[in-house]
Amino acid sequence: MSTYPEADKAGGLGAGSDGHGSGWHSPVPEGHPAAALLCAEAVRTHCAAITEHVAAGESELFTWHPDRVHAIADYVASTIRRRYPTLQVPYHSRWRHFESGGSDERLDRWQILCERAGLSGADHCEERARIGIDLVIPSVLLDAGAGPDWRYRDPASDLILTRSEGLGVASFDLFARGGFSAEPGDPLRADGERLARIDASTIATAFQVAQHNPLVGLEGRAGLLRRLGEVVQATPAVFGKPARLGNLFDYLKGHAVNERLEASFVLKTLLVALGPVWPGRITIEGVSLGDCWRHPAAPGGLVPFHKLTQWLTYSLLEPLEDAGLTITGLDALTGLPEYRNGGLLFDFELMVPRDAGFAATPHAVDEPVIVEWRALTVTGLDLVADGVREALGLSETEFPLARVLEGGTWAAGRRIAAKRRPGGPPPFAIISDGTVF
């Protein structure tokens, strides 16, 4: 018998007989054809099918070289030992970016914010979790690639931050100033009403965008936040009335059993509740599949990645655990197929493009060659994670994928990029609208 009845319906959340009055913007009934794609298991199995296709030599785009896994795992393990000599590695999540800067390159902005708001201590753990969720959801949605020319001067440290670190700190500062709150006297919250009114100029000002400091996908980011506000207001079953992102904590706690909750349930909840936020790409019978793309070697011709939603799931672990919940089954989630993880595997030639000029031309996210590279990345990260654990002498329970990524493959991807290319850019460019990477 299922511990979480709704969780094991392949995404069958909030579904009444006709979907109306369910409290969900876009309920996904049990048996809906989109449901099977709205889970991490589908990411792993569909990517594996593409990897088998490439490994069999049937791809016109890439060749597959699993003999490189050992070298990659050793490189990642050495990176982990350099960054975390005690092997006490935190989760790969947005919270690491909030810590960027400071004399030791770590500044605990979250702790400082909670102390100033009088929210420290066990008595405030649940409201702290709500506020953490209020902060991290918009921040993750704003985490698509910034582009090579954007910079953020951090007022707290006076350091210049770029890429994900800069985006994280900029979004943190915007949140702390009440940028997502509809309550003038209560700045530390993210309300659907306010999010639905976010415009590009608000993001531009907060992120210090100027002609000499351009941010990729500015309009796309603002549009995503507006859509987030609209969707959460139409999903009172999860976000309450009036809609607040932090009310997700109460929904998840209500589905925990003995304070335990499966990571797969958290992900499925986010995929169904927030799925309508993503730009309309591929849909099945009215349900948007989000970060899901076409590839002929995938089952049904579709391969889901759900990169940002999985990133968000990883980023919810800390506020949920701080509030006393135990999240189980972390390795049901997959590695994140983006330019640092995928760049690491590409730079080490785990996958090699058949077109020698592949890296010289920017590619769109829906091109089969990018879809295939991302699929190979998901499979490759599982293989590398096994090798890393072996090198470190740790089990999967002791060192879940969320720690391998942080320690880890993401940092190693940045490290090898810096060695290979001035400034450390990815090995090739992907055209971004601010909503995928």
Tokens of 213: 């400091």
Tokens of 13: 């959340």
Report the pLDDT value the prediction gives residue 155, as an integer from 0 to 100: 87
Tokens of 29: 């009934």
Q: Which of 411, 407, 413, 404 is nearest to 348 (CA)?
A: 413
Report the pLDDT value the prediction gives residue 156, as an integer from 0 to 100: 80
211 pLDDT above the threshold of 50: yes
pLDDT tens digits, 348-373? 999 999 999 999 999 999 999 999 99
Mean pLDDT value of segment 122-148:
92
Instruction: Give helix 109-116 / helix 163-176 axis angle, nearest 10°.
Output: 0
Q: Ramachandran region of residue 67, left (φ > 0), alpha (ψ -120 to 50) or beta?
A: alpha
Higher pLDDT, 20 or 384: 384
Report the pLDDT value the prediction gives residue 405, as an integer from 0 to 100: 96
19 pLDDT above the threshold of 80: no
Report the pLDDT value the prediction gives residue 104, as an integer from 0 to 100: 55
User: Where is average pLDDT lowest: 97-101, 108-112, 253-257, 407-411?
Assistant: 97-101
Report the pLDDT value the prediction gives residue 373, as an integer from 0 to 100: 98
Dist CA 281 CA 339 (whole Å): 21
Tokens of 152: 């953020």
Strand partners, 430: 363
Strand partners, 10: none
Model-level pTM greater than 0.85? yes
pLDDT tens digits, 261-282? 999 999 999 999 998 998 778 9
Higher pLDDT, 8 or 27: 27
Coil vs helix vs strand at 298: coil
Residue 2: pLDDT band by 50, 70, 90 thresholds?
very low
User: Where is average pLDDT lowest: 66-80, 128-142, 340-354, 423-437?
Assistant: 423-437
Q: How many residues does the chain have?
A: 437
What is the maximum span of the chain, computed from C-alpha positions, in angstroms? 62
User: Where is average pLDDT lowest: 10-24, 94-108, 314-328?
Assistant: 10-24
pLDDT tens digits, 229-250? 999 999 999 999 999 999 999 9
Dist CA 216 CA 148 (whole Å): 9
Coil vs helix vs strand at 213: strand
pLDDT above 90: percentage of residues in the chain: 80
Tokens of 309: 């939603």
pLDDT, the chain, mean: 91
437 pLDDT above the threshold of 60: no
pLDDT tens digits, 76-114? 999 999 999 999 999 999 999 999 875 456 789 999 999
Dist CA 47 CA 58 (whole Å): 15
